[in-house]
Structure formats: structure tokens, C-alpha cells
Amino acid sequence: MFLKTITFAGAFALLGSTAIAGCGISGGNVSVLSNDFPAIQAVTSAAAACAGDGVTVETNLTKDHKDIMVAALTANPAQYSSVVVSNSTLVTLMNDGLVRPLDEMVAKHGAALSKSQLITVNGKVMAVAFMANAQHLFSRTDVLEAAGVDGIPATYEDVLAAAEKIRAAGLMDYPVALNTKAGWNLAEEFVNMYMGTGADFFKSGTAEAAVNNENGVATLEMLKSLVAYSNPDYLTYDSNATQAEWEAGNLALATMWGSRGSAVLDDEGSTAEVVSGTVLSAAPTWGNDARPASTLWWDGIAISTNASDEDAEATFVAMMNGISSDVVKANNDAAVWLDGAYMPSPASAGVSSTAAGGAAPYPMLPFMGALHTALGAEITDFLQGSESAKQALADVEAAYTAAAKEQGFLK
Amino acid sequence: MKNRTFFWFILPSLITMLLFIALPIVSVAVQSLHIEHEAVMVEVENCGPFGCKQELQVDVEETAKLKEERPLGQFNGLGTYTNRNHLAFSEIGLAWRSSTGLVDFMSKALNLPFYRALAFTLTYTFVVTPLVIIFGFMIALGVNTLPKRIKGPTIFISLLPMIVTPLIGSLILFWMIDANGILGATLQRIFDDPNLSLKASPALTWIMLMVYGVWHSAPFAFIVFYAGLQTVPADTMEAAMIDGASRWERTRYVVLPHLMPLTVFISLIQLMDNFRVFEPIVSFSAQASATSLSWIIYNDLVGTESQFFGSAGATSVLTIIGVSILLIPVLIRTWRDFNQKVV
């Protein structure tokens, strides 16, 4: 990983001579906080190439960015002039007014951006998105063929039938995996599946949870049918674990993040057999609904309220350099980029077709995080068989209500 | 020592304790009595790469005004303590009235996050603490009889579980007990059951966590007992031998009474430590089957996008109260021993 980062940095240092000329910043301090995966590494290293001539660029790429971002941006001046945000983290920052509107800067420096990249809230641009992500189906076509399954499953019912055939043929005992680690990951699987039904999580116009209904019950039943084909340790499986299991050739059908696609399809960490058999496709639909059971996510750039105007502008320009068409072309397969220069590839086919299939974005609601936490803690009882689906959903709503009251969303 | 001299002597540590122990605890307690301001919501249009949608958002300006007036948030009294995610008074009352029997009531109570965590925390504390003392004592007796030459290396190896960072130690075990790991695969072989998984069943997860707890803490008890064994008076031992006491009788009637104060000390430390069990739950990814009070605090603050400071504060205060209740019997005993000695 370290070596990889160094190579990235080195590559961009070489590109630097042209990049600096393109940055055109007169001065300022740029500091970026973000998640850590290859596409973001590419963006931040390209932004770092703007350093020099009175401009400093610092980056902090960490998986734990969510835990520190609010405290770091509440300080005045803020610890970071920019945070790479997603659907859910932008809302958290906006709840406390920690990120600034970008309309003026977009007008001045954002000529290259397309309108769909602008995240607007109440008419104001609050973030600039540069990539899309979603969980979708990864299939091993060679295993499916050997088990006599025709084509790639398009619905979760097909996934279950295919899994049964693979098991019956004695090819694998546990062919299916989802990111089902208790907590955030498991809750995200519930959200994905529930979104496939098209139902809402809250009573319209209020913060009252509304998941305890027949859609919620059906969602839980479907998850339980799927984990019956997963390794018994499924409640400890996060995205690192599922990727490792996939690369080890232990899985045939898995719902994983699109951002894992390029890592699965590269020639590291796995055998040629697994890589050549792997196909990425849209998230399956289920029930009577045609909407892929997944949530669409974007990653984008937000600028701190508590940074000086000079730093904010320097940061915006540096980050525009980070997401420029040149960077997208050089890292085409690392993500599903929203820039016009992006060329679709096998590694991104899953995310593109999930979006094209009409999957909905993850809800940008200020109280969604509390519901997500409650889901992650309360639905394990049902999956382990110690509780009915109705009871598990009633527990989710009760836990959420208590938490939402503490956060002032409910009285 | 004169009172005045004593006062000046102790002042620096008194100030440090106030600053770094008392004040933070008071601030946690104060925080636990408050909840966030009521959020002023407005419906706005959100647009992005995947289209537009009408959604509720927090009205930042209005909420900022509320925050300016009262920075601590709304005063909620003991509301956070009694809500469902903590002591759950109304849910417990309802469960009591609607239950058909004690078993039914217990299962309803254990469905609430706080009581579920408390059940594991107490079981862990009361299983691991005595086992640590027993194993520690036995290892100490064993090592004490070894020839001098191999004593040093044996002591070092016995201490290893305590030297290894808890997080790393439990992660290594986590990998070893994986279905593909050396311990997990061996167990599957022994029991001839390919579906046997230590991580999947709640009962096995509890046992695994407790085995880890004993493995990790036994060296601490061992080294304390070993030091104590060096101070057993040789005269008494020889007298006992002349009287014809067997090895077991010497241990039971001479060594054990001599080491009693140390046992009290170890129980005190272990009760406190085990009640705060946390690292193994995180590194074993065991939260689906076992949670502890400390884990609830962690879950309120880390991994979620918005932190629940009031909730975390309330659980912290409840943990402090729990530790105090646990320690009362041990402290009373120490106090009695102390008084007897003075008289």
C-alpha cells in the first residue's frame, strides 16, 4: 500500500511541471481530509502537485475520517480547508453549517464541470462530486456455468436459485457473500435491499421512522435467505473480508462495492482463474420491483466554512486540478468518474448499470445516520434466529426514536 | 508529619487529580444531563448526479441561534438515563406487566441494548476474575518450583500474553479461530463438523471472549503471586514440614493465608478491568453476539456520522456506578483488615 502511494506521488511529481502551470494559485494553505481508497489517492496526489510558490498542500487520507471531521472543521480556523464528502457525510457537516456554498468559486474556476457534478441544496452548490459508487453484483461466470446456471442472475430470486444449484453441484458450500458485518455494513445491506422496494424510510415530511411494514419484513426475509448461503461467520464480514474471500476463490456471487472492482480485476492477490471468471453487473432487483436493490453514492469536494477566503479559493483550485480530465484519464479504471473524459471499463460496469437501472441515491436526510446505526445493532437478532422480523423492526424503530430524541430531531 | 507539611507535600498530586480525573468526570456527568437542541427543519430541493429530490434539512441559521443561547444543549434531566437505549424504565415496566413468567421477562429485558450489554459484562467479570486468580496462582506455584536455570525464560514466556497489546493479541486469536485458521480448522476436525464456527454462535463467542480474557490477564495474577511467594517465611514452612504437613497442606494452611492480601488486590484490579471489557469485542467483531458497557460508549462516539455525546456520557456514568457497586465488598474487607491492624 505504502509503495503504491509512493508510486502515485512519484508519478504526479513528474506530471507536476505542467500541473503547477495549470494551478495558477497565488498563495494559500490547502489541507484535505478524506477517506482512503485508490481513486481518492489519485485525486489528492494530483491536488498536492499544486504545492510550491507560497502554496502548501497537506493531505490526510484515513478510513476514520468520519470520526474526526466534525471536530476538525468546528475549530476556527478549521484544521482542514476541504473534506472529501459523500451523500451521508455532507449532511452531517451541513447540519452544523461547517461547509460553505461554492457558487462563486464554481462560476470562477469550475468551467470544466458538468451540471450533474454540482450537489445543490436549496439552490446553493454545497459540494462538487467527482465519482459515483454503489454496491452491486460480482459473479464468477465459470462457477455459474459449471453449476448449469444460464447467464448472470438479474434478480435476488435468481441469485438464490443459482446459489442452490452451486451448492447442490458440490462446487461450494457458501457461494454467496454480502458485506454483513454487524453495524454499519449490515445496516447498509438492509438499506440497499429496502431501497429496492421503493418504500420510504420515514413518514413523509417528518423524522418518524417507518420501516416496520411489510416491505421491511420482506427485506429481512430476503437477507436471511441470502445469508443462509453465506459462510456462518457472515456477521464479521466487512468489505475487506469479502474482497479477500472473493480473491481467494471462495465465492461465486457477492454484493460488493464498485470501488473494489479494479482491485478484484487487477493481477494482484488472486489467481488468473478467479480474475478471468469475474464479471461485474448491476445490483439485482427483487420482488415485483424493477429498481436495483442498491444505493447510489457520490464522493465529492466540500470546502470548510471556517477557512480563510484565500485558503478556500486555493483549495478549490487545487482540488479542481485533482479531479481534472487529465487525472481521470490517467486513472480511468480506479472509479466511475463523473468527468466527461471518463471511458467505461469492465471494472466500472457494475456501478454504471446499477445507476442506469434506476437505483436511488442514499437518502440525504439529517436523521438517516441515526436510523442506520439502529438498524446495524438491532437486526442481528432476527438473522441469528432469536427474534421475529416484526420484533426486530419494532426494536429498530424504538432504538431510533430514542436516539433521534437525543439529537433533537423528534420531540 | 505536620498537617501543614503534609498539605504542601500532597498539593501537586491533588491538583493533578482534580484537573485530570475529577473535572472530566464532572463534565461527562453534566453532558449526560443534556441532549441536542431541537433541530429546526426545512424542506429543500437536493440535486446531484442522480437527480433532484425534495428532502428535509436542518435550518442552520435558526439552529445556530438556539445553540448560541444555550451551548450545552437542552436540559433533559435524567431523561437520557431512563430512555430505551439505557435503563429503559418504561420498557422494563411494560415487560414486567406483560410477561408470562420470569423467563419471558428476562428475554424481554435482554432484548434492550443496555441490559444485554450488562448481562455479558457481568458474566465476563464474574467468570474471568476467579479464573485469572486460580490460574495465576497455579502458574506461580509451578514456576516457583522450577530449577533456577530455566526460571527466567519461563517467566518471560508466561508474561507474553500480557506484554502483547490487547488489540493485537485478540486480532491474532481472531484469525487463528477463523474457519480457515489453525485453531478453527482443528476444532472442525476434532468435532467432525464442517459448519462449526466459533464466530457464528453467541454461546461460543462468549466462551471465546472469556478464554481470551483469562489468557490475557492470568500473567498479571501470576507475577503478583510469584512475587508474593518469595516472601513466604521459610521458618513457618520448615515448621510445617517437621509437623508432617504435605505439600497440599502447606499450600492450603501456610501459603494461601500469607497471600490473602495479594488476592484481594488482584480481585480489586481485575474486577475493575473486566467490568470495562472492550478491546476483544472490537477485534473479534463480536458485537452481534456480545456487547459490553464500554462497547456501547464506543459505538455512540465512533463509526457513526453524528456522535451521541449525551448518550455516551450517561453510559459512562452508569459504568462508574457499576464499578463502585462491584468494589464495595472488596473495599469493606480491606477497610476492616486495616482497622484490625491498627487496633
Q: Looking at chain A from residue 16 to 55, which residues have their Cβ under 8 Å from any Cβ of chain B?
A: none
Q: Which fold has domain B114-342?
A: MetI-like fold (1.10.3720)
Alpha carbons B254 and A269: distance in angstroms, whole number: 61
Which residues of chain B make contact with A91, given a CB cutoff of 8 A? 57, 305
CB-nearest partner of A232 from B42, B47, B197? B197
Nearest CA distance, B284 vs chain A (angstrom): 8
Is A122–B37 a contact, with Cβ atoms under 8 angstroms apart?
A: no
Digit-coded pLDDT (tens) for B76-92? 889 999 999 999 999 99
pLDDT (mean) for B300-312: 83
Task: Write down the H helix ranges in A131-286.
Answer: 141-146, 156-168, 184-195, 214-227, 239-247, 261-265, 272-277
Q: Which of A207, A235, A369 sits opposite B304 (nearest CB)?
A: A369
- What pLDDT is attached to residue A301? 95
pLDDT at A318 over 80: yes
Position B18 pLDDT exceeds 70: yes
DSSP per position, A382-402: HHTTSS-HHHHHHHHHHHHHH
Pick the range with the lowest mean pLDDT from A24-28, B136-140, B284-288, B322-326: A24-28
Mean pLDDT of A104-121: 91
Segment B204-246, tens digit of pLDDT: 899 999 999 999 999 999 999 999 999 999 999 999 999 999 9
Burial of A2 (0-12, 13-18, 19+ CB in 10 A): exposed
Domain with CATH 1.10.3720.10 in chain B: 114-342
> Helix or strand or coil: residue A83?
strand
Compare A53 and B225 and report the one with higher pLDDT.
B225
Closest CA to B183 of B202, B200, B197: B197
Nearest CA in chain B to A174: B195
DSSP string, B25-79: HHHHHHHHTEEPPPPPEEEEEEEETTEEEEEEEE-HHHHHHHHHH-TT-EE-TTH
Partner-chain residue, chosen from A64, A173, A405, that has the shortest CB–CB distance to B35: A405
Say what the pLDDT of residue A362 is: 93
Residue A230, pLDDT above cutoff 80: yes
Query: Can you give the pLDDT at residue A16?
Result: 41
Residue B307 Cα, gap to closest chain A Cα (Å): 8
Examine the pLDDT at A34 and tell me if it is beyond 70. Answer: yes
Please report residues of A whose CB lies closer than 8 A to that of B179. 231-233
Name residues 235-264 of chain B within 8 A of A (Cβ): none
* Residue B303: predicted pLDDT: 66
Residue B331 confidence class, pLDDT cut points 50, 70, 90? confident
The pLDDT, as a whole number, for residue A302 is 96
pLDDT over 70 (residue B64)? yes
| Mean pLDDT to the nearest integer, A11-32 | 62
- Range A342-363 average pLDDT: 89
B248 Cβ contact list (under 8 Å, min separation 6): none
Determine the average pLDDT of the residues in A13-27. 55
Q: What percent of chain A has pLDDT over 70?
A: 95
Which chain A residues are within 8 Å of B311, Cβ to Cβ? 403, 406
A353 near A135, Cβ under 8 Å?
Answer: no
Distance of CA B156 to the CA centre of its chain: 26
Alpha carbon of B54: minimum distance to chain A alpha carbons (Å) = 9
DSSP B198-267: TTT-HHHHHHHHHHHHHHHHHHHHHHHHHHHHTTS-HHHHHHHHHTT--HHHHIIIIIHHHHHHHHHHHH
A191 or A333, greater pLDDT: A191
CA distance A111 to A94: 25
pLDDT, tens digit, 9 for 90 and up, residues A237-275:
998 899 999 999 999 999 999 988 888 998 888 899 999
A-contacting residues in B 13-72 (Cβ below 8 Å): 35-39, 41-51, 53, 55-58, 60-61, 63-64
pLDDT reported for residue A221: 96
**Long-range contacts from A149-158, C-beta under 8 angstroms, 24+ separation:** A152/A279, A152/A281, A153/A253, A153/A284, A154/A282, A154/A284, A154/A285, A155/A284, A155/A285, A155/A286, A156/A193, A156/A222, A156/A226, A156/A284, A156/A285, A156/A286, A156/A293, A157/A286, A158/A284
Q: Are the C-beta atoms of residues A30 and A55 closer than 8 Å to each other?
A: yes
Classify strands A118-121 and B41-48 as parallel, antiparallel or unpaired. antiparallel
Alpha-carbon distance B18 to nearest alpha carbon in chain A (angstroms)? 25
How many A-B residue pairs are in contact by the CB < 8 A criterion?
Answer: 173
Q: Check B60 against A94: CB less than 8 A apart.
A: yes
Given an 8 Å threshold on Cβ–Cβ distance, is B39 in contact with A183?
no
DSSP state of B341: H
CA dihedral B100, B288, B295, A397 (to 10 degrees): -60
What mean pLDDT is predicted for residues B236-261?
92
**Confidence band, pLDDT 50/70/90 cuts, at residue B185:** confident
Q: What is the H or E stretch that residue A30 is in?
A: strand A28-34
CA atoms in the 13 A half-sphere facing the CB of A121: 26
Residues of each domain in chain A carrying CATH 3.40.190.10: 2-133+297-352, 134-295+354-406
Which residues are registered as beta bridge partners of A256? A136
Task: Tell me which residue in A64, A233, A381 faces B179 most closely, judged by beta carbons.
Answer: A233
- The DSSP line for A101-131 is --HHHHHHH-TT--GGGEEEETTEEEEEEEE
Q: Do B38 and A132 touch (CB under 8 A)?
A: no
Considering only the top CATH level, what class is A134-295+354-406? alpha beta
Contact A97 B64 (CB under 8 A): yes
- Please name the fold of domain A2-133+297-352: D-Maltodextrin-Binding Protein; domain 2 (3.40.190)
What local confidence, expressed as pLDDT, does residue B341 receive?
67
Return the pLDDT at B342: 58
Q: Where are any strands of DSSP class E within A248-386?
A: 253-257, 278-281, 295-303, 336-337, 360-361
**Which of these, A344, A326, A180, lies nearest to A261 by C-alpha position?**
A344
**For testing contact with chain B, the best of A231, A236, A409 (most B CBs within 10 A):** A236
What tens digit of pLDDT does each residue of A370-399 get?
999 999 999 999 999 889 999 999 999 999
Which of B305, B309, B311 is the best substitution to test chain A (most A C-beta atoms within 10 A)? Answer: B305
In a mutagenesis test of the B interface, which of A85, A407, A411 is the best target, namely the one with the most B β-carbons within 10 Å?
A407
Supply the pLDDT for residue A243: 94
Of B44, B178, B306, the CB nearest to A121: B44
Q: Quick check: A277 contacting B, CB < 8 Å?
A: no
Closest listed residue to residue B211, CA positions, set B325, B290, B265? B290
A405/B contact by beta carbon, under 8 A: yes
> Average model confidence (pLDDT) for chain B?
90
Q: What is the pLDDT of residues B134-170, one digit of tens each?
A: 999 999 999 999 998 999 999 999 999 888 888 888 8
pLDDT, mean over chain A: 89
Q: Is the pLDDT of residue A409 over 50?
A: yes
User: How would residue B131 be classed by pLDDT, with cut points 50, 70 and 90?
Assistant: very high
Q: How confident is the model at residue B336 (pLDDT cuts 50, 70, 90)?
A: confident
